[in-house]
Structure 1
Amino acid sequence: MHPLPSPSPAVRLFARLSTSLKILIVLSLALLPLGMIASLASLETAQANRANREAAARLLATDSAERFNLMIDRTAGILRGTQREGVGGCVRAAATIGPDAMVAVFDPAGHLICASRPIRAAWPTRVPSPTPIVTFDRDGQSLRIVASASDLPGWTVAILPRTLLATAAHPHAQDGTYALKISDDSGHELALASLESMPVGRETLADQPVAAGQLRLSMSVASPPLSANEVLLTLLPILMWVAGAAIGWLVVDRLILRPLETMQEAIETYRLTGRFVSPALTTPAFEIRALGEAFERAAQTITRHEADLEDGLARQTRLTREVHHRVKNNLQVVASLLNIHARGAPTTEAGDAYATIQRRVDALALVHRSHYAELEVNHGIALRPLIGEIAANLRGSLPSGIKPPVITLQVGLFHANQDVAVSVAFLLVEVIETAMMRLPGTTIGITLEAVPDRPDRARLAIRSPALNRDAAPIDQHFELFERVIGGLSRQLRSPMERDDAEGLLAIEIGVMTDVADV
């Protein structure tokens, strides 16, 4: 089975985010394609509006160019008529053309025939033809038109001021919304109208040839600034995207996440105090309220079961204490009976047998008494007082004719359960009894110390010269002793360590690790 690949850093970062933030990100990404589609549609609309404005600008430029060409053709026709009239036609022609216009007629030699006002005559730039010649005047603020009738010699000149040109080329548009100028190939320009500044708008340029290509008319049209509707249509997709994500997050946060956080706080309080108080859930989500009510019923059921368990445990504890108390009393009664029978035994062997049995019953009674006390404090059976009492009882149970042994104790503060304590008690009885019977007055040293790096184990060691096999003859009692301690080592689930040279018996026993030394 192949191990699962580790998640990427982005996945781990997303997993650490709060649920509300995750929902906001997911909703934003889900609505992003719709927002992009709407934004593209808005951009298409804006581009269509721009194309419409450019087309309108070209129409205005075409209209202005047509008006300008009509003025040139009309002026040329007037000039040809004036050439036929002779001397008296210049003033009338100037008045017909427009205000501040000037008209002059010249013969083929270039001599002035008539003029609407004084003028400095000049030869035309090229030979007059049926097409009028249109050029900039010397002052650069007016146009000069030279025309000639095809059936008459000479030519006629008209000078048109800038104001007359601007009026003639005025398109169907409001003043200030466009800029108009004429120019020639040599770089001369004459502005006919200026464009007012519009900070938000922009210019659209259009260029048209006029006067049979001799001049060019250029127009700049001010595009109006974005209206409120256009701005709204442009920003509406983004606003809808943001609003959709925000509303979705707000609904999930208020209807689901906030009530769940409130439930979590109530459950945490229940864990700490053991008392569940149903929070006030204002969410319209029926499922969340049903969840809170279900948990409240479960908490009440758990509380009721805990109370029943506590009552049952208290009854069981009292019953167990009573059982151990009665067992201890019965063992003490048996020990007393054995003591009475030992005193009235007909033979020494029978008395010794009664005494041996009595010592074991006393040891078992001590264990039950200690276990009875353990039920009160739940610390386990303390081994130090148990070993001390067993040693004292055994030393005091010797017949008067036998010298008692010298027993030394070096026992640490350890606690054990009842099974280990019973086996330890029987082991001590067997070893101490055998030692003091083989060598009366011998020394017996008992130690109980911790095993290094094993907090749940302790080493029980008993040293005495009487435990050496060569200290006394091997009899039936000693052989029985060896079989008994072998069985006890199996009960303690640990091998018996024995050293005849030192008179040592040692074994590791299990101790309780969750009991503080007191």
Structure 2
Amino acid sequence: MFLILTLALLPLGLIALVASLQAIRTADLEKEALLRVAVTQSARKLTADLQSDRTALELTVNALASPGGETGICQRLELFLTSHDRDGGHFYIYDRRGERLCGSPVPEPAGIAIAERFEGKDAQLLPASQFLVSRVRSRNGALVGFAYYSRAHLESVADPATALQNRQLTLRQGDARMVISRPGGPPISGHSSSLSARLDPPDIVLTMSVRDPPATIARMLSLFLPLVMWFAAAAVGWFVVNRLLIRPLVLLRRSVAAYHPGEVLEPLQKVRTPAQEIVALGETFREISEDVATHEAEMAQGLETQRKLTREVHHRVKNNLQIIASLINLHARSAHDPEAVEAYASIQRRVDALSVVHRNHFAELEDNRGVGVRPLISELSASLRATAPTQARRFGIQIDADDLHISQDVAVPIAFLLTELVELAMMLDPHGAMRIAVRGVADRDNRALLSVRSSGLRASEAMTIHLAERYGRVLTGLSRQLRAPLDHDAEAGGYTIEISVIP
């Protein structure tokens, strides 16, 4: 409906607008022609007035420059200029020595230096003193005469016969500019029309500017009335379409965009629209959201059940490992051979290490963050010291670890790796100590560096034998599970390996 109303009324509005623009263009052409006639007429009048006064001044200067010149000619020149200029006509005649021969009784306007009286153009604008001066030299070059024209006189002479409102006359000569009309009023600004005509001498240009009529609200409304009517009809159509169709669709889109799984959509609960298609669409979204909410509840219930089963599995595994560790401990008490006792203790340490991993994983299961590195190493160190051989009861373990988390697949080989290294260090240096550090790798959120350092892990003949017999193969197998090389610093007694962490 909105498109039909818009397209139906737009051609009529455009036709009326083109007709109005054509009428305005015709009026502008007529105004330009009238302005051209007026500026041409003003330039001719001003040129004729300057030429007549210049001729009279030239006759006077030549008469005074000739031998036995008549002195009374100055009075006749003054009478002639006064008849043309209501301000009295200002003229001055000088010889080469700078002496005034005759002239008007009022002081000469400022603007021409004494040294420049015989130099310069025949006509010159003096914007500072608001005068136009006409310069005439005698034929023999002995005398020079000046005729000054005030701004008021120039305006009265150049006033066009046509009645042009808001006009402004300006004389220009090079960079010099003098406004000869509207001296006290503000200059014409904004939209205006200007035309120019040259005077004689041709380096002076007369410019007439006429301000265009202001664009009033009534004039703009009369010009754009067809488009205003078209816009009003389009606005009414838009209001109807917006209320009946667009607004319900926008509210429906916002409701769908703000939808969260598990909610039930009621997009058109506060909106009434006669469009049955939109109502049906809203009902469809409501039914879909109800189905999704039902499935979400079922999935949440299934996830909770699976979480409980997983907790139960870890709990049972932990209990089974504790039972195995207790059985090993009972068998170790009945053994009398030191080698058998040490073998039982070695097996128990590894079972305890696996139990520690399951216990820490069970503790972090609710937050789904993985196994904490710091509590895992701390509990493992305490368990290893508790099951240490008698000669290594005072073996010290220092832990320096960042707050990092690892998966269970990484925690199990790390626990076994630390168990092997601690057992090896206790065996080679029972009275020594060990430092275990875990630091995150810079610029890599998913990697960390595990380092183990102890004096018992330094290169020695006994360590070479133990590595060759058993520990070397185990450490190599665990590093393969961690998918990283295990570096050994034999001189410092340290092992380092890069492990994966949960970012």
Instruction: Output the TM-score relative to the length of structure 1.
Output: 0.53
Which amino acid is 2:488 matched to? R
8 A Cα contact 2:450 2:496, kept in partner:
yes
Match of 1:508 among 487, 498, 502: 498
Give the distance between the partners of 1:320 and 1:394, measured in 2 at CA.
28
Q: Which residue of 14, 17, 24 corresponds with 1:36?
A: 14
Residue 328 of structure 1 contacts residue 365 of structure 1 at CA under 8 Å; is this kept in 2? yes
Counterpart contact for 1:374–1:381, Cα < 8 Å: yes
Q: Does 1:276 align with 2:265?
A: yes
User: TM-score, normalised on structure 2?
Assistant: 0.54
Shift of the 490–30 alpha-carbon distance from structure 1 to 2, 3 Å rule, reads farther
Decide whether aligned partners of structure 1 residues 236 and 267 sit closer, same or farther in structure 2, where only a CA change above 3 A counts: same
Aligned length: 304
Question: 383-392 or 466-475: which moved more?
Answer: 466-475
Give SS of 2:460's match: helix
In the alignment, which residue of structure 2 is the partner of 1:299? 289
Q: Deviation of residue 318 (structure 1)?
A: 0.5
Per mean C-alpha deviation after superposition, the further-off stretch among 438-447 and 330-339 is 438-447
Residue identity opposite 1:264 in structure 2: R
Q: Look up the equivalent residue of 2:456 and give its one-letter code.
A: A
| 2:230 alignment counterpart | 241
User: For the structure 1 residues 333 and 237, does the alpha-carbon distance in structure 2 shift closer, same or farther, using more than 3 Å as the test?
Assistant: same
**1:487 lines up with 2:465 in the alignment:** no
1:459 and 1:506 in contact (8 A); partners too: yes
SS at match of 2:388: coil
Q: After superposition, where does 1:149-160 map in structure 2 within 5 Å?
A: none
Q: Tell me if structure 1 keeps the 8 A contact 2:458–2:493.
A: yes
Structure 2 distance, partners of 1:321, 1:383, is: 20
Find the residue that maps to 1:377 and give its secondary structure: coil
Aligned to 1:257: 246
Q: Percent identity?
A: 48
The alignment partner of 1:447 has SS state of strand
Change (3 A) 1:29 1:445: farther
8 Å CA contact retained: 1:24, 1:249:
yes
Matches within 5 A, 1:198-217: none
Summarize the Cα distance change of 1:319–1:27 in structure 2 as closer, same or farther, 3 Å threshold. farther
CA distance in structure 2 between the partners assigned to 1:26 and 1:426 by the alignment: 80
2:347 to 357, 381, 396: 357
CA 489–38 in structure 1, closer or farther in 2 if over 3 Å, else same:
same
What amino acid is the match of 1:300? Answer: E
Check 1:470–1:29 CA distance in 2 against 1; reply closer, same or farther (3 A cut).
farther
Q: CA deviation at 1:236?
A: 8.6
What displacement does 1:429 show? Answer: 0.6
Counterparts of 1:27 and 1:348, CA distance in 2: 105
The one-letter amino acid paired with 2:350 is R
Deviations 1:101-128 (A, max 9, x none): xxxxxxxxxxxxxxxxxxxxxxxxxxxx
Q: Shift in Å at residue 404 of structure 1?
A: 4.0
Once the 2 structures are TM-superposed, how far is the Cα of residue 369 of structure 1 from its aligned partner?
Answer: 0.8
Relative to structure 1, is the Cα distance of residues 423 and 28 closer, same or farther in structure 2, using a 3 angstrom cutoff? farther
Match of residue 368 from structure 2: 378
**Among residues 388, 412, 432, which one is paired with 1:422 in the alignment?**
412
Give deviations 1:355-411, integer Å, cap 9, x for gaps.
222111101111111111112333332211211111121112123355542211222
8 Å CA contact 2:467, 2:473 repeated in 1? no
**Distance between the aligned counterparts of 2:20 and 2:466, measured in 1?**
112
Q: Pick from 381, 402, 414 the counterpart of residue 391 of structure 1.
A: 381
User: Could you say which residue in structure 2 is the equivalent of 1:454?
Assistant: 444
Give SS of 1:472's match. helix
Question: For residue 258 of structure 1, what is the amino acid of its counterpart?
Answer: R
Q: Match of 2:255, as an amino acid? A: A
Tell me what 1:114 maps to: none
Contact 2:262 2:297 in 1 (8 A): no
**Aligned partners of 2:487 and 2:497 also within 8 Å:** yes
Counterpart of 1:308?
Answer: 298
Distance between the aligned counterparts of 2:275 and 2:284, measured in 1? 15
Match of 1:433 in 2: 423
CA distances 1:432-487 after superposition (whole Å, capped 9, x unpaired): 11111122222111111222222322221100122123262522555432222222
The separation in 1 between residues aligned to 2:10 and 2:469, in whole angstroms, is 93
Q: From the superposition, tell whether residues 42 and 326 of structure 1 become closer, same or farther in structure 2 (CA, over 3 Å).
A: same
Distance in 2 separating the partners of 1:31 and 1:347: 111
CA contact (8 A) 1:439 1:472 kept: no
The one-letter amino acid paired with 2:265 is: F
Task: Mark the structure with the bigger radius of gyration.
Answer: 1
State the 1:33 CA deviation.
3.7
Moved more, 363-372 or 30-39: 30-39
Whole-Å Cα distance in 2 between the matches of residues 472 and 328 of structure 1?
A: 36
The alignment status of 1:497 with 2:475, answered yes or no, reads no
Q: CA deviation at 1:354?
A: 2.1
1:512 Cα deviation after fit = 2.4
Q: CA deviation at 1:37?
A: 4.9
> How many angstroms does 1:244 deviate by?
4.4
Counterpart position of 2:203: none
Provide the C-alpha distance between the structure 2 equivalents of 1:255 and 1:413, rounded to a whole number of angstroms.
Answer: 59
1:290 to 277, 280, 287: 280
Distance in 1 separating the partners of 2:8 and 2:446: 60
CA distance in 1, matches of 2:5, 2:446: 57
SS at the partner of 1:512?
coil
SS of equivalent to 2:445: strand
Q: Would the alpha carbon gap of residues 38 and 459 (structure 1) be closer, same or farther in structure 2, given more than 3 Å must change?
A: same
Mapped to 2, the partners of 1:254 and 1:367 lie a distance apart of: 64
State the shift of 1:38 in Å: 7.0
Distance in 2 between residues matched to 1:452 and 1:30, nearest whole Å: 69
Deviations 1:220-268 (A, max 9, x none): xxxxxxxxxxxxx999954663344224422331222210222234335
CA distance in 1, matches of 2:402, 2:299: 36
Check the 8 A contact 1:466/1:472 in 2, yes or no. Answer: no
